[in-house]
Structure 1
Amino acid sequence: MRAPVQGTQPRRVPGRIPRPWRLTYLGPEGTFTERALRTLPEADGSRLLPAATAARALELVHGGDADAAMLPVHNTVAGPVGDTVRALAGAPAPVVVREVVLLVEFALLVRPGTGLDTIRTVSGHPHAGAQVAGWLAGRLPRARWLPAPSNAEAARRVRDGASDAAVAGDFTAAHYGLRVAAAGIQDTAGAVTRFLLCAHSGAHAFPPVRQADRTSLLGRVPGPPDGLGAFLDDLRRHPLLRAVSLYTVPDGSGASVLFADCPGNAEQPATHRTVQLLSLRLPGLQSLGSYASAPSPTAVRTEPDDDAPRDEHHRGSRARGHRPAAGAHR
């Protein structure tokens, strides 16, 4: 998979809906999640509401203060996004209405005047940390990692002096008056993050843009993820489940939340049988509905009006010989 090209604009998805929406997303301003949301035609002219956490975004939807929430759910390098999966499992009757897949690249953002040799703390979302761990170990071995709810929140903390540097998209720098100290610092080229726009099951305001070809389910299962390997392997060996993607994250209380992606629409006989089998083996699963998968990953990079200063002496190795991450998304 080819890495994003400088200056590439997010591609608009066909299927414009003629009314404004109230759409929330994992914020604050300047996150990849906001960028994913802005690729959708529904975002044009709509009120976009940043939320501090995935759980808070879904609360806004359930409470009627937002029509839908855009949330990151999986990355091809770092795996499932635990905060989102747990929030979906705890939300009342969420359904997926749109999917967006972005190619992501990371930059190191600092306050103007900060040199790499003075950085002692670096902040970012845990998924970002997993994708730049090698670069940080090689370039900033003495820096301490400070996890943040989002990469844009990490940038805001740098602006406010709570951290020396943030890992985020280079486009985030302009939002917080920061400088790009190094760009392209991800360890694996071509990494992809998948985002889901989730509404309440009672909402019928989002007609499909294409025929649904994916059905997702999730629910709590007993035991921590490390202890579920044999059980999941047994599920995957079943002929009806070989094409199903299964992910688990800890639920915070000693058990797990399982997320399942099934190919096809639940109204199709083969997919219906697959969903029935999963529900039989895992009685706690709930359906997130059937929806159209994203047709292809979208490259998202700095826009022409994002003119945060850059330090050309500290470029990340955007082409360090790494192969693109396997699989656009699962």
Structure 2
Amino acid sequence: MNKMQRLAYLGPEGTFTNEAAKRATNEDEVELIPYPDIQTLILAIANQEENWGIVPIENSLEGSVNMTLDLLAHKVDLKIIKEVLMPINHHLIGQPGAKLSEIKKVLSHRQALAQCRDNLNQILNDFEAINTNSTAEAVYSIKNKDNNFGAIGSKLVAEINGLSILANNIQDNRSNWTRFIVLGAKDSQEVKHAKTSLICSPSKDRPGILYEILKEFAMRDINLTKIESRPARKMLGDYIFFIDFKGHRKEESIKETLLALEKKTSFIKILGSYPQVKLK
């Protein structure tokens, strides 16, 4: 019997990363392994302790996950083999039979509390917001509490802990999506309608150099989906650029672009060409 492949995710069980992992993979073929933080998870893949890992890289409301970007740029040589886009729906969770009027304390990760602040103020009379390390930790911590305690989390974590959804979809902004990436040591198989990610650093800091880099994409009708700068961790004012674009790096126009970029950059790192999965 073949040994089951392992996919590490940002735990504990019941996090949104866990939900993305479960929905984007076949659990009969992959064993899901929780990790306490992004750095430990990514280094475990780099050290071949795990086959793959899934981590958040960007949220539509909060922006990029800098820890993920910095590790990919400076610490590891891993490939993105899949992108998973998932809507983030927050729910108010409590004891079975609890009423909204009974809730006096609401626990969750600070981002979840901030993203639900207006709706919480409308549906609850008066409450204390309490920060936790994750939404999953918040829900787990109220498991044995009384009806005065609520938590913000996913349907998955409510089911895991045997708790009830007291109010559905309480996020203030319904356009809340998180982009997750699956990382591995080897590149993804070639697919149609791929997306490619790279990191580069201009060869010289001079006026117009970023324009010259981006011009190489525009000249060949390559659609950029994201560009972001991060400190190069050298001199103050030195930056590297993360660039995402549509297409596979083996396509002729993209190969030409990458060749041209080599002449305008001192450093270029291809993070991968990979398929995208959009969950509902």
TM-score by length of 1: 0.65
CA distance in 2, matches of 1:219, 1:154: 39
Q: Which residue of 1 aligns with 2:30?
A: 46
What's the C-alpha RMSD, in Å, of the aligned pairs? 3.8
- Contact 2:193–2:275 (CA under 8 A) maintained in structure 1: yes
Any stretches of 5+ residues in structure 2 without a counterpart? none
Q: Number of paired residues?
A: 265
Counterpart residue type for residue 69 of structure 2:
V
Match of 1:215? 196
Compute the displacement of 1:58 (Å): 1.2
Q: What is residue 254 of structure 2 aligned with on the other side?
A: 271
Describe how 1:8-87 pairs up with structure 2 within 5 A: 20-87=4-71
Cα deviation for residue 268 of structure 1 reads 2.0
Shift of 1:180: 1.9
Please state whether the residue corresponding to 1:77 is helix, strand or coil.
coil
Q: CA deviation at 1:199?
A: 0.4
Identify if the C-alpha distance between structure 1 residues 153 and 232 changes in structure 2 by more than 3 Å, giving closer, same or farther: farther
1:169-318 residue pairs with structure 2 within 5 A? 169-200=154-185, 203=186, 207-208=189-190, 210-211=191-192, 213-218=194-199, 234=211, 238=215, 240=217, 243-244=223-224, 245-248=226-229, 258-276=241-259, 283-294=266-277, 297-299=278-280
Residue in structure 1 matching 2:80, options 96, 114, 131: 96
Q: Which moved more, 1:50-59 or 1:183-192?
A: 183-192
Distance 1:249 1:160, change over 3 A: farther
Q: For the residues of structure 2 that align with 1:199 and 1:156, how far apart are their CA atoms? A: 30
Flag the 1:283–1:293 CA change in 2: closer, same or farther, 3 A: farther
The amino acid across from 1:238 in the alignment is K
The separation in 2 between residues aligned to 1:23 and 1:298, in whole angstroms, is: 19
Note closer, same or farther for the CA distance 1:172–1:237 as it changes in structure 2 (3 Å cut): same
On the 8 A contact 2:5/2:30 being kept in 1, the answer is yes
* 1:309 alignment partner in structure 2: none
Shift of 1:68: 0.3
After superposition, what is the alpha-carbon deviation per residue over 1:142-168, rounded to whole angstroms, capped at 9, x for unaligned?
Answer: 5335252x322332334476x944322
1:134 maps to a residue whose letter is D
Q: Is the 8 A contact 2:198 2:268 kept in 1?
A: yes
1:157 to 136, 141, 146: 141
> Which position in structure 2 is the counterpart of 1:3?
none
**Residue type of the partner of 1:32?**
F
> Which consecutive aligned stretches of 4+ in structure 1 deviate over 6 angstroms post-superposition?
230-233, 249-257
Unaligned segments of structure 1, at least 5 residues: 1-17, 222-229, 300-330
Output the CA distance in 2 between the equivalents of 1:236 and 1:136: 46
SS in 2 for 1:84: helix
Deviation at 1:94, TM superposition (A): 0.9
| 2: CA distance, partners of 1:232 / 1:151 | 43
Report the Cα distance in structure 1 between the residues aligned to 2:230 and 2:144, rounded to whole angstroms: 32
Q: Is the 8 A contact 1:72 1:195 kept in 2?
A: yes
SS at match of 1:238: helix
Q: CA deviation at 1:27?
A: 1.2
Per-residue deviation, 1:107: 0.5
Q: Give the direction of change, closer, same or farther, for the CA distance of 1:220–1:71 in structure 2 (3 Å limit).
A: farther
Aligned residue identity for 1:217: L
**2:178 is matched by which residue type in structure 1?**
T
Deviations 1:111-137 (A, max 9, x none): 4557556434532263x4454343245
Matched-pair contact (CA < 8 Å) for 1:124–1:166 = no
Deviation at 1:274, TM superposition (A): 3.9
Aligned-residue identity in percent:
23
Secondary structure at 1:92's aligned position in 2?
coil
- Select the structure of larger CA radius of gyration: 2
How far apart, in 2, do the equivalents of 1:131 and 1:154 lie?
Answer: 15
TM-score normalised over the length of structure 2: 0.75
Q: State the distance in 1 between where 2:72 and 2:22 align.
A: 22
Please state whether the residue corresponding to 2:151 is helix, strand or coil.
strand
Q: Secondary structure at the match of 2:18?
A: helix
Match of 2:119 among 104, 110, 135: 135
Q: CA 1:125/1:176 → structure 2, altered by over 3 Å: closer, same or farther?
A: farther
Q: Determine the C-alpha separation between the residues in 2 that align with 1:181 and 1:251.
A: 46
Is contact 1:20-1:47 (8 Å) kept?
Answer: yes
Letter in 2 for 1:82: N
Matched to 1:243, the amino acid is: N
- In structure 2, what is the Cα distance between the partners aligned to 1:285 and 1:42? 34
Letter in 1 for 2:276: S
